[in-house]
């Protein structure tokens, strides 16, 4: 199955007071807009929730990639799919019934994503992969943008790529992804790259996206 590199800029590093302008700055360049939902319980930070995601969906045509860093995703995640997010990712550490939840997300018409924190092993979840459209491997401890990439996760990216094979499940990395780390991620087998500070911290976010894509694409295509 052919693979392509996708860039999903995290709006966590954007200006929250001007979200629709900030989305317009990545329109046409980004594959997705990555929206980080944090509840101050699963992670020690509080960002935004369903009403803001609904406003984003109305104000922009960029597909929304929701990353839910929340407790009890079994209860809260399906509403994000129902609202129209193209992809909804929950954390396996927080989910009571990940298979049931993934199926509920697909039933609502979203791609189902499952995220693992840096210290959560991937092997126990190998049998769940057919229930998923995307596996997200966090390359920082979730909670904040602008943290340093944890290269201790690279071997897990490689093992996840082996488990996924050519089944078509996307492999996303999130945290500290930048011009200096994206190639290692792509070589290890990732194909969807979240970047917050590397995109919104740049003078021209669209140019930064194009540059990241140019670095990753040849490596993603070479490892397919």
Of these, 36, 39, 131, 133, which contacts Zn ion (CB under 5 A)? 36
Minimum distance from CB of 154 to Zn ion (Å)?
18
Q: Alpha-carbon dihedral of residues 140, 144, 146, 147, nearest 10 degrees?
A: -30
In this complex, which beta carbon is closest to ligand DX5, that of residue 18 or of residue 224?
18
Minimum distance from CB of 193 to ligand DX5 (Å)?
9
Contact predicate 91/125, CB 8 Å = no
In this complex, which beta carbon is closest to Zn ion, that of residue 133 or of residue 174?
174
Minimum distance from CB of 189 to ligand DX5 (Å)?
19
Per the DSSP assignment, residues forming a β-bridge with 8 are 194
91 binds Zn ion, rule: CB under 5 A:
no
Q: Which residues bind ligand DX5 (CB under 6 A)?
A: 10, 12-13, 34, 36, 67, 140, 142-147, 174-177, 194-198
Minimum distance from CB of 76 to ligand DX5 (Å)?
17
User: In the annotation, is 151 catalytic?
Assistant: no
191 binds Zn ion, rule: CB under 5 A:
no
CA neighbor of 57 nearest in space, from 25, 75, 82: 82
Q: List the strands of the sheet with 134-138, edge to edge.
A: 6-9, 192-195, 170-174, 134-138, 111-116, 87-91, 64-69, 33-38
Q: What is the CA radius of gyration of the chain?
A: 16
213 binds Zn ion, rule: CB under 5 A:
no
Class of residue 186 by CB neighbours under 10 A (exposed 0-12, middle 13-18, buried 19+): buried
- Spatial distance between the Cα atoms of 187 and 3, rounded to a whole number of angstroms: 13
Tell me the residue nearest to ligand DX5 as measured from the CB: 196
Restricted to residues 44-73, the positions that interact with Zn ion (CB under 5 A) are 67
In this complex, which beta carbon is closest to Zn ion, that of residue 146 or of residue 218?
146
Of these, 77, 174, 177, 205, which contacts Zn ion (CB under 5 A)? 174
CA neighbor of 36 nearest in space, from 64, 57, 75, 1: 64
Which run of H or E residues covers position 122? Answer: none
Minimum distance from CB of 6 to ligand DX5 (Å)?
14
In this complex, which beta carbon is closest to ligand DX5, that of residue 147 or of residue 206?
147
Q: Which residues are known catalytic residues?
A: 36, 174
**Residues forming the site for Zn ion (CB under 5 A):** 36, 67, 174
């Amino acid at each position: 199955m052919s693979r392509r590199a996708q860039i999903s800029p995290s709006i966590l590093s954007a200006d929250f007071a001007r979200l629709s302008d900030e989305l317009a700055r990545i329109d046409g360049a980004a594959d997705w807009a990555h929206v980080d939902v944090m509840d101050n319980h699963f992670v020690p930070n509080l960002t935004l929730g369903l009403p803001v995601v609904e406003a984003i969906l109305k104000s922009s045509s960029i597909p929304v990639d929701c990353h839910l860093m929340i407790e009890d995703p079994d209860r809260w995640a399906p509403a994000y799919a129902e609202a129209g997010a193209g992809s909804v990712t929950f954390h396996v550490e927080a989910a009571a019934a990940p298979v049931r939840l993934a199926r509920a997300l697909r039933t609502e018409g979203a791609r189902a994503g499952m995220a693992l924190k840096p210290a959560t092993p991937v092997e126990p979840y190998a049998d769940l992969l057919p229930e998923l459209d995307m596996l997200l491997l966090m390359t920082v401890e979730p909670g904040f943008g602008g943290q340093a990439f944890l290269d201790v996760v690279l071997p897990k990216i490689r093992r996840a790529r082996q488990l996924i094979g050519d089944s078509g499940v996307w492999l996303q990395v999130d945290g500290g992804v930048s011009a200096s780390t994206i190639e290692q991620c792509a070589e290890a087998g990732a194909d969807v790259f979240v970047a917050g500070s590397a995109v919104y911290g740049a003078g021209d976010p669209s140019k930064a996206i194009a540059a990241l894509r140019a670095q990753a694409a040849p490596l993603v295509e070479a490892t397919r």
